[in-house]
Amino acid sequence: MIKEMKSVEEIREAFLVMSELRTNLDEESYLEYVDEARKKDMYHLYALYEEGEIVAVIGFTPMITLYYGRSVWVYDLVTRKEDRSKGYGKSLLSFVEKWAKDHGYSSIALSSGLQRHDAHRFYEEKMAYDKVSYVFKKEL
């Protein structure tokens, strides 16, 4: 079952899985950022449940840019370590692809850390995503 996390309690419940990807965040910061992103950026957080437990989560934002046009940016996609390679990431990303089409968006984009070779194989080989650019970042 895939469900949107809307209430504070639902969002808090997703933190255990999200924290495997976002190791830099404590629960308080996570809740604050999700709340602000939902209000300002239309951020959506969905969880995939298996036998009543969250096993994977995805966070994304619909956007319009001159480069991508009407697109969806996936910020977060993580499956619990013990549940990887069971198709949960594919299910969530496919769900977002359908969500995007249903809402009039023409593409999906995401970035993935340079060290995440398994994730890159997943995006390119299993999900048919193209590597189209590098993302650059500067701390201020």
Phi, psi of 139 (to 5 degrees): -75, 135
**Number of structural domains in the chain:** 1
Q: Does residue 115 belong to any structural domain of this protein? A: yes
Q: Does residue 114 belong to any structural domain of this protein? A: yes
pTM here? Answer: 0.92
Q: Which domain holds residue 73?
A: 2-126
pLDDT digits (tens, 9 = 90+) for 16-51: 999 999 999 999 999 999 999 999 999 999 999 999
Q: Does residue 140 belong to any structural domain of this protein? A: no
Q: Identify the CATH number of the domain in which residue 7 sits.
A: 3.40.630.30
Check residue 114 and give its pLDDT. Answer: 81
Taking 3-state DSSP, the helix, strand and coil percentages for the chain, each rounded to the nearest 5, stand at: 40, 25, 35
Short-list 103, 56, 102, 51, CA closest to 76: 56
Q: Does residue 100 belong to any structural domain of this protein? A: yes
